[in-house]
C-alpha cells in the first residue's frame, strides 16, 4: 500500500485482517464510478485553486493529472486493484504515482463521505437519462405498432375473461401511458437527485472557505445540500430511483405477460419474431417467447434491490455508516436490468406479427357486445340495472342454444323485452367501438387523438 494512503491505518497498531480487508473492500463493484469520481475531483480541485485554499498552480497540476488518470483507466494502462479498498483510494493512488506529493492536496476540504455521496448522485443522474432514453424507445415501438394496426379489433379482458371489444391500438397505448408515467416519475426523481453534497465533509461541513455553488455549477447540479449531516447519509434518491425502476419493471412484466399469453396457441393473436424466441431442447415444434418470460422474471430482482435498500436505511443513526456501502451493487444491477429489459422488449414489440383476423374473431365470437345491448335498452328509457338483468338472461339463453348474440333473431330478443326493435340487430363489434368516442375511449377518432398526443409527448422527451 502506498505510504501516503497507509496513513489511513496509522491510528491502529496492527494490520487489518485479510478476510476483513476483503469483506469491506468495494473496488470490485464501485470501480464503475471512476469517471464520476474523477469528474467530481476535477471540479473540487479547480475550486480549491480559485478560492486560494491551495495554489492555482497546484490545482492545475492536479487537474491535468486527473485527466491523465482518466485516460489511463479507460485505456487500461492504469489498473484498479484490490490493494486499495475503493475507487476513491485507487484514483488517488494512481494520481500520487503520476504527479507526486501535490496529489495529497486534492483531499483538502473533502471527506470520502461527501465524495461518495457526490459520485453516487452523478451516477444516478446519468442513470435517469439512460433509463428515460430506453423508455422513449419502447414508447416509440408501441406507437409504431399501434399506427400500423390502427383499425384492428381485439377483445379486452377483465379477470382474464373477454369483456368488451377495443381497438388494438387503444390496447397498446395503455402501455404507452404506463411508460409515460414512468418517464414523469423519473423526471420528478431527478429534482431530488440534482443536489450537490460536496462541502459537507465527513458530516459537519468543512473548515475552509469553499465555493460550493461554483462546484455545483461545474458539475451541472441545480442545488446544493442544506444540511451536512443529511447530505452524507442521504440515500433517498437511490430508493426513489429503485422505486421508479420497480414500477417500470412491473409495467414491463405486465406487457411481457400479454406477449406470452397472446403468442400461445390458445390465444394466437400475435407471433413473436424468431429473433426474440427460442426453441426446446427436446420438443422440435416449440417456439417460446423466452425474452418476454425473462423480462417478467427479472422484475423480481429489481423489486428485491428496492427492499434491500429500504432495509439498509431503516435503522441507521446519523450520519454516515458503513452499511451505506450496500447502496451500490443493487443500484448498478437495477440500472443494468431495467435498461436491458426495456431494450429487448422494445425490439420484440417492433417486430411482432399481429394476427388481426384471429383477434377480430375472438372479439366477435363471444358476448363482448352484451354491454352495448344493455345500453340500447337504457337509451329506450329502461333503468340500467333492469336492462342489465334482461341482457344477462339473453346471454344465458344464447349460451344454452349455442348461439352468438349476433346470431339471435329479433323474435328471440323480443321474448325477453318488447323494447327491442329491429335496430338492435345493427349492434356489432365495430358499432360498439365507434360508440365509445368519449375522451380517452377506444373509438378510432379518440385513438387518433391519443396517437397524436403520444407523439407530441415523445417528441418533447427526445428533444430534452
Please pick, among 21, 264, 280, 459, the residue that the annotation labels catalytic: 280
> How many Å apart are CA 451 and CA 253, to the nearest integer?
23
> How many Å apart are CA 440 and CA 447, to the nearest integer?
8
Please pick, among 13, 159, 400, 439, the residue that the annotation labels catalytic: 159
Q: Residue 234 region, left (φ>0) first, then alpha (ψ -120 to 50), else beta?
A: beta
Q: Are strands 270-271 and 223-224 parallel, antiparallel or unpaired?
A: unpaired
Tell me the HSE value of 408 on the side-chain side, using a 13 A CA sphere.
32
- Helices 112-148 & 444-462 angle (0-180, nearest 10): 150
Taking Cα atoms as reference points, which of 306, 304, 274, 320 lies closest to residue 111?
320
Taking Cα atoms as reference points, which of 252, 261, 262 lies closest to residue 178?
252
Instruction: Tell me how far CA of residue 56 lies from CA of 47, 99, 206, 406, 411, in angstroms.
Output: 9, 15, 20, 85, 97
Q: How many angstroms separate the first and last alpha carbons of the chain? A: 46
Q: Can you list the alpha helix ranges (DSSP code H) found in 31-78?
A: 34-51, 56-74
Cis peptide before 319, with omega less than 30 degrees from 0? yes
* φ, ψ of residue 242 in degrees (nearest 5): -65, -30
280 is catalytic: yes
Instruction: Tell me how far CA of residue 371 lies from CA of 54, 170, 241, 458, in angstroms.
Output: 77, 19, 42, 35
Catalytic sites, residue numbers:
159, 280
Amino acid at each position: 500500500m502506498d505510504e501516503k494512503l497507509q496513513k489511513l491505518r496509522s491510528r491502529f497498531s496492527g494490520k487489518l485482517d485479510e478476510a476483513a480487508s476483503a469483506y469491506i473492500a468495494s473496488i470490485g463493484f464501485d470501480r464503475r464510478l471512476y469517471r464520476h469520481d474523477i469528474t467530481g475531483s476535477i471540479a473540487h480541485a479547480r475550486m480549491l485553486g480559485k478560492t486560494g485554499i491551495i495554489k492555482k498552480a497546484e490545482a492545475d497540476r492536479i487537474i491535468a493529472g486527473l485527466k491523465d488518470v482518466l485516460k489511463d483507466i479507460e485505456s487500461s494502462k492504469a489498473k484498479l486493484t484490490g490493494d486499495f479498498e475503493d475507487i476513491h483510494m485507487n484514483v488517488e493512488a494512481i494520481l500520487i504515482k503520476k504527479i507526486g506529493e501535490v496529489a495529497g492536496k486534492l483531499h483538502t476540504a473533502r471527506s470520502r463521505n461527501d465524495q461518495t455521496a457526490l459520485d453516487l448522485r452523478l451516477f444516478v443522474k446519468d442513470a435517469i437519462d439512460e433509463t428515460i432514453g430506453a423508455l422513449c424507445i419502447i414508447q416509440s415501438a408501441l406507437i409504431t405498432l399501434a399506427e400500423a394496426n390502427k383499425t384492428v379489433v381485439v377483445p379486452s379482458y377483465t379477470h382474464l375473461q373477454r369483456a368488451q371489444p377495443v381497438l388494438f391500438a387503444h390496447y397498446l397505448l395503455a402501455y404507452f401511458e404506463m411508460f409515460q408515467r414512468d418517464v414523469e416519475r423519473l423526471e420528478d426523481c431527478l429534482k431530488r437527485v440534482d443536489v450537490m453534497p460536496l462541502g459537507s465533509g465527513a458530516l459537519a461541513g468543512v473548515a475552509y472557505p469553499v465555493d460550493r455553488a461554483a462546484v455545483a455549477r461545474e458539475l451541472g447540479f441545480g442545488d446544493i445540500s442544506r444540511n451536512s449531516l443529511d447530505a452524507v447519509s442521504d440515500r433517498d434518491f437511490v430508493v426513489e430511483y429503485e422505486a421508479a425502476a420497480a414500477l417500470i419493471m412491473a409495467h414491463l412484466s405486465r406487457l411481457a405477460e400479454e406477449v406470452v399469453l397472446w403468442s400461445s396457441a390458445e390465444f394466437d393473436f400475435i407471433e413473436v419474431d424468431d429473433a426474440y424466441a427460442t426453441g426446446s431442447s427436446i420438443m422440435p415444434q416449440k417456439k417460446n417467447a423466452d425474452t418476454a418470460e425473462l423480462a417478467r422474471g427479472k422484475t423480481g430482482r429489481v423489486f428485491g434491490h428496492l427492499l434491500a435498500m429500504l432495509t439498509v436505511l431503516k435503522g441507521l443513526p446519523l450520519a454516515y455508516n458503513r452499511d451505506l456501502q450496500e447502496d451500490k451493487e443493487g443500484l448498478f444491477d437495477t440500472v443494468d436490468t431495467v435498461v436491458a429489459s426495456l431494450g429487448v422488449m422494445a425490439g420484440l414489440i417492433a417486430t411482432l406479427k399481429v394476427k388481426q383476423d384471429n383477434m377480430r374473431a375472438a372479439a366477435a365470437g363471444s358476448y363482448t357486445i352484451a354491454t352495448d345491448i344493455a345500453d340500447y335498452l337504457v337509451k329506450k328509457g329502461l333503468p340500467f340495472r333492469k336492462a342489465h338483468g334482461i341482457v344477462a338472461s339473453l346471454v344465458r339463453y344464447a349460451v344454452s342454444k349455442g348461439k352468438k348474440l349476433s346470431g339471435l333473431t329479433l323474435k328471440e330478443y323480443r321474448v325477453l323485452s318488447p323494447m327491442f326493435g329491429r335496430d338492435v340487430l345493427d349492434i356489432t363489434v365495430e358499432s360498439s367501438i365507434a360508440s365509445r368516442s368519449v375522451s380517452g375511449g377506444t373509438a378510432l377518432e379518440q385513438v387518433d387523438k391519443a396517437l397524436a398526443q403520444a407523439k407530441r409527448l415523445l417528441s418533447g422527451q427526445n428533444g430534452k
